[in-house]
Structure 1
Amino acid sequence: MAVMFWESWSFLHFQYGHIFQPSEPSRALLLIMLGKVLLNLFLLRIRRRNLRESFMVHFCISLALVDLVLLVTMFFIFYFQDFMIMGIRFTKYHICLLAQIMAVTYGVLHYPISLMTGLDYYLTITKASKSPNVCRRLLYIVTVILTWISVLCYVLTLPSNTVGLDNQLYNSGYQCPFYISSQSYWLSLGMLLIICLAFVLCWSEVVAMVQPLKLVLYKSETVLFFPHMPECSPRDCAKHFLTRLLVCFVGNWAPFVFLQMLIVLLDVQIPAYIEMNVPWLYFTNSFLIAVAYWVRRRQIELTEEVWDADPFVNWKFCFVPFHSQNADEKQKPTSEIVIC
């Protein structure tokens, strides 16, 4: 089946009459994949450790591994240029073909990964224990492997004429067209609409929270603090809770939020094999964590352990009160504060 798929894709390119010069697109693809792999590894290196197990963290690791294997395979084909394996002849042309197959695979993963991640956090976000759970870790690993296998099998069984490549890419003169996924676009649009709606609903709270913003020195680190309001009505507490989620999320991912706005407004067409990356997944992960916190807010206890779920956003610094004993006396507040 895989051989038939590869042959059909090969026929697809020549059917449209494009002259394929493998050296230029092959080198460009290798450089792009090298940059993506380095970015993935950098994000995995700087993320916070000692967090609770989650499906998204395991999938990000698997994505980095798949990208690394893809890069090594493409470089192997590029280096040997023309060779035979199991009766299949590989040339530089197949570097583009391999990237196309993975582009379609990546392009159909956004919805399933977001759905499974949201369900995972909805069921586990209120659990405060960070102790390693072998069964849960094994479940995540098996789920990630089955997800990759099922999506790849689905893609390989698709007819070449129904994969969904944009014909405009063929007509524009590109020698190596790629699948453009609409899933990431609609996910970005949905998240931006929710963020804007939250800003509209909590604008007065956001302004009131940002106005007393100050810098303090806490445990040899410069941090921001906002006044803590322990007593409030149920309606005000819910609005205040949403405001802290919004400020904490946007405060950490502001450049990425702005980038997503540009992509949506300008309708930028990004190949799916580039768009599915670790930074995008961690951005989506933080958003889904915030949604899970909001949905399960009545069951969440304000303890430090329950907030340790995000590799990049320190949610507990926006919600767990403490007394800044190490702060500068000129900046040290007289009331209880939270860091954000």
Structure 2
Amino acid sequence: MMISIPSILLGLGGKCLLNWALVFLQRNNICKSLLGVFSVSLAVVDTILTLFVTSLHMHADGYVFLLGLKLTRYHVCLLVQILGRVCNALQWPVAVAAGCDHFFTVTRGLQTITGRTRLIVCLFVSGLLWYLTVLYVFLLSDFLPVMEDVSHDQIHQCRIFHTTQILQVAMFSLLTLGCAALHAGCSTGFLKTPPLKEQITEQSRAHLRRDAVHQAIHIFVNTWAPFLCFLAVLVLAPVGIPAYLGLNVAWLCFLNSLVIAVIFCTVCPASQITQGLAAAPPDHFCEWRFQFILAGEDRT
């Protein structure tokens, strides 16, 4: 689709403000997870690009020299298209890396790692994700920028591509969440009958599992219901999100909560949750507290 350059700059500016507002809101926990560190790197990249393309577009001569290269208004469209393609390609790698990070946090698989070491690892992984994705876009993908055949001083619109990866990641994660809830709800119907003692034990575990899954989904849905409605509208409506706006800190916050819910529902045993052995990853929006009633007592 064609979008005017002022509209692109306005969208990038709004994205930068939203990114930094959410980073500031989560400043106490932003460096404790991979998604938090990556959110800061995304805010920095978006800000640098926005300032650069704005100055390039507003320059009186219509061009600037940078490192011996003559950059014109053509390069505004080129840079925005590159950003969109990189952000589109980053969706799945970021989701998978966040899932691994939260998995080790929930299961306490990396208890010996200190806070400083964890931060260094997150910085390294974030930089590696950016580097490998940029290499993929330029060397391995079929990315071809689309430029209008006009002179640089007359260009006023850019051809922008839609992002499709957001809906793919969201639908796959929500489908996994739904399957986990369905499995937990149906597990009590497939219990072994003999012997009676083992049956009672398995029944108790199944009920705990179902309760943990239902609470995790309840916490997630109660927090992100408006955003889920927005995603539903995007699926049903014949509109799309420009690729350069697709990857933002608001989406990463939603993805953070979604991945945590999926891990609690799929790979974290209910016994670890009830006994306090499962650590909830940092999440500024969802309060991951589970309550169970066992033998007449309340446990949180």
2:268 matches 1:296: yes
CA-atom RMSD in angstroms: 3.3
Change (3 A) 1:304 1:73: farther
1:70 is aligned, of 32, 49, 62, to 49
> What residue number does 2:197 align with?
none
> What residue number does 1:109 align with?
90
Change (3 A) 1:307 1:196: closer
> What residue number does 2:64 align with?
83
Listed as ranges, the matches of 1:184-263 within 5 Å are: 184-197=166-179, 233-263=204-234
2:163 matches 1:181: yes
Change (3 A) 1:143 1:320: farther
SS at match of 2:70: strand
Q: 1:252 Cα deviation (Å)?
A: 0.6
8 A contact 1:166–1:179 mirrored in 2 = no
8 A contact 1:51–1:130 mirrored in 2 = no
2:88 matches 1:99: no
8 A contact 2:274–2:292 mirrored in 1 = no
8 A contact 1:308–1:314 mirrored in 2 = no
> What residue number does 2:192 align with?
none
Unaligned runs of 5+ in 1: 1-19, 168-173, 205-231, 322-334
Cα distance in 2 between the residues matched to 1:92 and 1:301 = 59
2:257 matches 1:309: no
2:31 matches 1:59: no
SS at match of 1:243: helix
The amino acid across from 2:268 in the alignment is R
Q: 1:52 Cα deviation (Å)?
A: 7.6
Cα distance in 2 between the residues matched to 1:296 and 1:198 = 11
8 A contact 2:105–2:279 mirrored in 1 = no
8 A contact 2:5–2:157 mirrored in 1 = no
Unaligned runs of 5+ in 2: 148-155, 187-202
TM-score by length of 1: 0.69
Change (3 A) 1:42 1:276: same
Cα distance in 2 between the residues matched to 1:104 and 1:143 = 20
Change (3 A) 1:285 1:50: closer
Change (3 A) 1:102 1:52: closer
> Percent of aligned pairs with the same residue?
28
Change (3 A) 1:307 1:87: closer
> What residue number does 1:124 align with?
105
8 A contact 1:103–1:179 mirrored in 2 = yes
How many residues are matched?
A: 268
TM-score by length of 2: 0.77
Cα distance in 1 between the residues matched to 2:46 and 2:10 = 13
Change (3 A) 1:266 1:279: same
8 A contact 2:291–2:298 mirrored in 1 = no
After superposition, the C-alpha distances for 1:34-64 in whole angstroms (9 at most, x for unaligned) are 1111111121222372578211111111111
